[in-house]
Amino acid sequence: MATILDGNSIASQIKDEVAAQVKELASQNIRPGLAALLVGEDPASEIYVRNKVRACEQLGVFSEKISPPASSTTEQVLAIIDGLNQREDIDGILVQLPLPPHVDSKRVLLAVCPEKDVDGFHPVNVGNLSTQRPGLTPCTPSGIMEILRRSGIEISGRAAVVLGRSDIVGKPIAMMLMNANATVTVCHSRTVDLPAYTSSADILVAAIGKAAIVKPEMIKPGAAVIDVGINRLMDKNKVQEYFRDDPKRQEEFAAKGSTLIGDVHPRAVEVAGAITPVPGGVGPLTIAMLMANTVKAARLRRGLAVQ
For the domain spanning 139-284, the CATH number is: 3.40.50.720
CATH of 29-116, one of 3.40.50.10860, 3.30.505.50, 3.40.50.300, 3.40.640.10: 3.40.50.10860
Q: Are 230 and 260 in contact (CB under 8 A)?
A: yes
What pLDDT does 65 receive?
A: 96
- CATH 3.40.50.720 in the chain, residue ranges: 139-284
Q: Catalytic annotation on 307?
A: no
Q: Are 254 and 197 in contact (CB under 8 A)?
A: no
Q: In the Cβ-directed half-sphere of 40, how many Cα atoms lie within 13 Å? A: 18
pLDDT per residue over 93-105, tens digit each? 999 999 999 999 9
Catalytic, out of 15, 91, 96, 296: 96
**b/e map of 265-293 (b: 16 or more CB within 10 Å)?**
bbebbebbbbbbbbebbbbbbbbbbbbbb
What pLDDT does 307 receive?
A: 77
Q: Catalytic annotation on 96?
A: yes
Q: Are 296 and 22 in contact (CB under 8 A)?
A: no
Q: CA–CA separation, 286 vs 230, rounded Å?
A: 13
Catalytic, out of 21, 116, 117, 119: 119
Task: Please work out, in degrees rounded to the nearest 5, the angle formed at the alpha carbon of residue 11 by the alpha carbons of 10 and 14.
Answer: 90
Which regions in the chain score pLDDT beneath 70?
A: none
Catalytic, out of 15, 21, 52, 202: 52
Q: Of 138, 73, 84, nearest to 111 (Cα)?
A: 84
Q: What are phi and psi of 64, to 5 degrees?
A: -140, 125
Q: Give pTM, 2 decimals.
A: 0.95
Q: Of 292, 286, 245, nearest to 265 (Cα)?
A: 245
- CATH 3.40.50.10860 in the chain, residue ranges: 29-116
Q: Catalytic annotation on 42?
A: no
